[in-house]
């Protein structure tokens, strides 16, 4: 399985390194364009359907009006992001609210400044309304006075395009603003972290977050998201079917958050369309057992084939649902209730000695007895870097006391500062040699530059 990277130059982590031991070789990169080192950015755009098919020129001309440029400066990155500037695309989805849809990797999941500009207009500050923790999607908001005269494109919310369907990608590849390319839908795959449409429409750095448009009716069928580095015209986009549900729930004032998945599933090399449970780490909310095959959600049309489809069916229904499950060859129903995944824009961390520490989000942590706190970022030239603390290091203890939460870490720092300015911390690092998965390190942690990082205060 290729390594999925949703932002250029994403920070390595213990979780990602552990995953890489189990993954096949290959490199999958997101289509977002950093200012200094170009990465890949995809665009999703659409246009209203009409009784008679229009020309591709008309569809792209319309996309010029509703497609925006998005630029982001990440000032302090959490795991998965990188400090620096990048550019991508987005498109208008709600003119009255001033809402613009894009990829989450374009706007980051970290402390950042985000700005948006439509054609022939200046950049203005944007607020991140919603960043999805499962799909690579986000909603931005700018002053609605700037969008009320722009026609909102129609999204294809009810069905996915079939293989061979003609499409056009629109965005800003390699800094060439408002560029359109054409191709077809090549397939659909759940090989990566979430299900995506595959297209041979050329997608390059600067297209991320822009529209993938049907060349038959002008509707937006997907949001361009990533490509495989070195492959020819093997690009991927998130279906509008999934994006529409998030948008509709937000517009209705409901929480569109996906469930906090407590299980991991089997990944079959032949990509069989089968959601089969490998481990369930918290069966209290949903009593799935290893070997169970999930077939559907009661009351929701369609068969469930993968995690993405299950998450889609459960959005807005987390408090009370029932699943159709096959267990031991027999069909049963399971009633369940799941917690929403942690809100991206409520992430917190502690910066100390140039080291950003926050919670780990890997649900299979119990299998490796992983601590709950991980180093997300180390500032270049900081005391933490001098102490050889690295991104992905797992925090075990401070001054001999175990720390399992940000609150415990904050209390430990406060207590230690009464008597010293440097304290020993014990870290765990993946790569313990021939007889262990992890090595243990004791490093001096300078108690300087202490800062609470809280994304809920940024926007």
Lookup result for tokens 């991980």? 374
Question: What does the pLDDT look like over 237-258, one tens digit per residue?
Answer: 999 999 999 999 999 999 999 9
Q: How far apart are CA 429 and CA 114, in angstroms?
A: 33
Residue 223 in contact with residue 198, Cβ under 8 Å? Answer: no
Q: Please provide residue 325's backbone torsions phi and psi, each rounded to the nearest 5 degrees.
A: -130, 145
* Radius of gyration of the CA atoms of the chain, in A: 22
Q: What pLDDT sits at residue 438?
A: 86
Q: How far apart are CA 348 and CA 217, in angstroms?
A: 44
pTM of the entire predicted model: 0.86
Q: How far apart are CA 229 and CA 26, in angstroms?
A: 8
Q: How far apart are CA 64 and CA 91, in angstroms?
A: 10
Residue 368 CB burial class (10 angstroms; 0-12, 13-18, ≥19): middle
Lookup result for tokens 């613009």? 100
- In angstroms, how far is CA 457 from the centroid of its own chain? 21
Q: What pLDDT sits at residue 48?
A: 43
Residues whose CB is less than 8 angstroms from the CB of residue 86 and which lie 6 or more positions away in sequence, other chains included = 7, 8, 32, 33, 34, 35, 39, 71, 72, 74, 106
Q: What pLDDT sits at residue 430?
A: 85
Q: How far apart are CA 114 and CA 180, in angstroms?
A: 24
What is the DSSP secondary-structure string of 343-412?
A: PGGG-EEEEETTEEEEE---TTGGGGT--SEEEEEE-TTSHHHHTT--TTPEEEEETTEE--SHHHHHHH
Q: Specify which residues 168 forms β-bridges with.
A: 182, 213
What is the DSSP secondary-structure string of 71-87?
A: EEEEEEPPTT--SEEEE
Domains and CATH numbers, the chain: 1-255 (2.40.10.120), 263-336 (2.30.42.10), 347-457 (2.30.42.10)
Q: Specify which residues 34 forms β-bridges with.
A: 86
Which element (helix H / strand E) includes 416? helix 406-416
Is residue 270 very low, low, confident or very high in pLDDT (cuts 50, 70, 90)? low
Lowest-confidence region among 21-35, 80-94, 144-158, 316-330: 21-35
Is residue 273 very low, low, confident or very high in pLDDT (cuts 50, 70, 90)? confident
């Amino acid at each position: 399985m290729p390594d999925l990277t949703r932002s250029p130059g994403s920070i390595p982590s213990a979780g990602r390194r552990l995953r890489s031991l189990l993954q096949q070789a290959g490199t999958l990169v997101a289509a977002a364009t950093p200012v200094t080192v170009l990465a890949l950015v995809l665009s999703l755009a659409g246009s209203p359907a009409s009784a008679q098919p229009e020309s591709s020129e008309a569809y792209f001309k319309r996309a010029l009006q509703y497609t925006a440029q998005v630029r982001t400066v990440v000032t302090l990155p959490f795991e998965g992001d990188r400090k620096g500037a990048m550019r991508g695309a987005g498109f208008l989805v709600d003119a009255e609210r001033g809402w613009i849809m894009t990829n989450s990797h374009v706007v980051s999941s970290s402390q950042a400044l985000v700005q948006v500009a439509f054609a022939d207009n200046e950049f203005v500050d944007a607020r991140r309304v919603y960043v999805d923790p499962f799909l690579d999607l986000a909603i931005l908001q700018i002053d609605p006075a700037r969008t009320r005269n722009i026609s909102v494109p129609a999204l294809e919310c009810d069905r996915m395009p079939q293989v061979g369907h003609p499409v056009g990608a629109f965005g800003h590849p390699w800094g060439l603003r408002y560029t359109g390319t054409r191709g077809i839908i090549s397939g659909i795959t759940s090989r990566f972290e979430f299900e995506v449409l595959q297209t041979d429409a050329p997608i390059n750095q600067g297209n991320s977050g822009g529209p993938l448009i049907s060349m038959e009716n002008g509707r937006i069928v997907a949001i361009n998201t990533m490509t495989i580095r070195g492959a020819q015209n093997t690009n991927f986009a998130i279906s509008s079917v999934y994006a529409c549900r998030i948008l509709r729930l937000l517009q209705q004032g409901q929480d569109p958050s996906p469930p906090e998945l407590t299980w991991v599933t089997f990944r079959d090399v032949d990509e069989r369309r089968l959601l089969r449970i490998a481990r369930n780490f918290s069966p209290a909310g949903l009593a799935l057992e290893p070997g169970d095959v999930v077939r559907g959600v009661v009351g929701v049309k369609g068969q469930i084939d993968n995690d993405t489809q299950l998450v889609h069916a459960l959005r807005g229904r987390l408090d009370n649902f029932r699943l159709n499950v096959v267990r031991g060859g027999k069909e049963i129903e399971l009633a369940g209730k799941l917690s929403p995944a942690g809100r991206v824009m409520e992430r917190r961390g502690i910066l100390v000695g140039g080291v950003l520490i926050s919670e780990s989000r890997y649900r299979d942590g119990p299998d490796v007895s992983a601590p709950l706190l991980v180093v997300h970022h180390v500032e270049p030239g900081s005391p933490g870097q001098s102490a050889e603390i690295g991104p992905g290091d797992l925090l075990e203890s401070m001054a001999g006391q175990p720390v399992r939460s940000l609150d415990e870490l904050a209390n430990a720092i406060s207590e230690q500062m009464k008597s010293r300015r440097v304290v020993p911390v014990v870290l765990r690092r993946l790569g313990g040699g021939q007889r262990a998965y992890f090595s243990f390190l004791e490093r001096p942690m300078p108690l300087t530059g202490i800062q609470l990082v809280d994304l809920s205060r940024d926007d």
